[in-house]
Amino acid sequence: MAGILSRPGEESPPQPMPAEQAEPQAPEVDGEESNVSPEEQELYDKFVTRALDVIDEPKTMKAIIGRFKESDDPTATLAQLTVMIVERVVGAAEKAGQELDGAILLQGGTEILEIIADIATRSGAHDFSEEEMERATYQAVDLYRDNK
């Protein structure tokens, strides 16, 4: 989606997604792969893949990096960017008549948050601690809920 997160004048070079994050990962529970149906797994995979498609767009990637570099609160920025991407994917799914389960949104949103945090780290904008990641996750959940 061209311009989804861009601001005028941003010129940061796009960063390619790391190869290890190119494929969605199955949700895990307590370190073990969860027991989900093939249909649920397919919806999860599609959800994360669509989000990666949005994130990988050059203008979106530039905007993500730019937002982090300009941010005084990288944790809040991570939450906001995650929700923006999730809402974009959910909106497209709803237009296609596909309803997404809350578990898919939570697990997929968490993976998207981790991917965006990795982009911030690789760009040199911010290296998130575990505490910041947890705080950003809760902020993203609250922000998403408040937007509904």
Nearest alpha-carbon partner for 116 in 139, 146, 147 = 139
For residue 85, what are its two tokens?
């991407």
How far is it, in rounded angstroms, from Cα 139 to Cα 22? 25
pLDDT at 10: 43
Q: Give the global pTM.
A: 0.77
Regions in the chain scoring below 70 on pLDDT: 1-34
How far is it, in rounded angstroms, from Cα 129 to Cα 114? 11
What is the rounded average pLDDT for all residues in the chain? 84
pLDDT at 15: 45
